[in-house]
Amino acid sequence: MGKISCKNYGFDCKFEVDSSESDAINRFQKHSMVVHGIEYSSGTLSQIVMRIKN
């Protein structure tokens, strides 16, 4: 299991969510919106989570 972390996407930010959490996508999506002003689509994030898990 991995983590989705902002750092991996070029942000100087310590936020990360455990990809095993069921609401990981929602939490990361909300964080990106609120803190970085970037709106990831759920599809994009699903692909990211799948890549981490495999």
Under the rule (CB under 5 A), what is the footprint of Zn ion? 6, 11, 13, 15, 35
53 CB-near residues (< 8 Å, 6+ apart): 1, 2, 19, 20
The residue (of 10 and 54) whose beta carbon lies closer to Zn ion is 10
Residue 26: both structure tokens together: 């929602």
> Is the separation of the CB atoms in 18 and 42 below 8 Å?
no
Tell the smallest beta-carbon distance from residue 35 to Zn ion (Å): 5
Tell the smallest beta-carbon distance from residue 9 to Zn ion (Å): 8
The residue (of 15 and 40) whose beta carbon lies closer to Zn ion is 15
